[in-house]
Chains A and B, each alone.
Chain A
């Protein structure tokens, strides 16, 4: 009997060892897979950075994936201040500032309007307000091609065609849908009794908004600002359709640099320019990425 139980105990032990080994192998495979994916996502960024630091000679002779033999920052300087975007050769700098001048007011205005709209649609519902919300929401999803022609004409009539102000206007109008959605979904989780209590306390519409709702809003403001900034900074369609030579945003300028057919193809300058164009949104994403994810999922999961 004792032998039997000893044998049993031993086979139990070896079975446990096998299970442990299996688990370790499984974990190892899991991490390997995750790392392969990580490399896949990082590769283009790696290629962009290394290419931007290589000389043209090295690019032609060397390998895409090799590190630069010596660091050459000249293509960054070229991309920033002297690369040609069509006939103009001032680099990305003026267009970078165009994009800043355009996104700051557009983000601010669309967020503000979204906050007030969301507050009304979540807490001050009236007959038909849900229909209005649905109509606004649908506006988020339209392909913008369907509004480009009449918008181009309207901007002309309003005498803001080809101006930064015109682009701000366009971005605000077509951004309201999303910002309203974000704020509405956030405020709708606030119990209606809060507004009732404040009404009994004697506070009015704006007082309740500024004293009670705005103070609880920083999380959703961060989300909305990041979202809007990314959308507006990265926009190409409105930029290319509604701007002219001096008012183009950076995405349009980048495309012009990369796809200009004159002269030698300077891949390192292209890559440096692409990184410069991506830096602001990448920076925001790295600094506030946590909120970014939360915001992206909040809007589409909760609906």
Chain B
């Protein structure tokens, strides 16, 4: 996996609480058996006025001019500023794949839903939790005549914007290291294969009923 250390980009403010994964990538696009191809249908029902379907030519779609992603200021964005409980609902990792493929590398919000938050780290997308008042302050900065440029430094755990002091953020050290080093998550667990095997032997002895249909 590629590493993530410093990212610089422009920020799009999405002023809605409880953005659920059904909105991030609607279900009709989940029929794909691939990890790619979801970016053009990110926020499909909000970015477009016509109904989205697999295979529809994006150039022939009707754009919803009122949706912030279609505002000329916010083209080519790579950081998303959101509100509370971002990514709630379905466990579909397709939501993270869609954001990433669209170009989003970092989502900043006051809180995230658990499964979405986990899914982000598996895909080099950095979710950053900040206090409500800082989020509010960023919304203020982000809605000016030009999109806000932000530098996200994962090493120093700081967000930098030109016109203000740096904003520190917290992240679990293990998750930080995995992103910076681009570690393979499964590979990291495999380093504990012996422990897993030993646990399994003990577990099978103490709760054999869990394993009684393994061979049938």
Same complex for A and B? Answer: no
Residue numbers of A with Cβ under 8 A of B are none
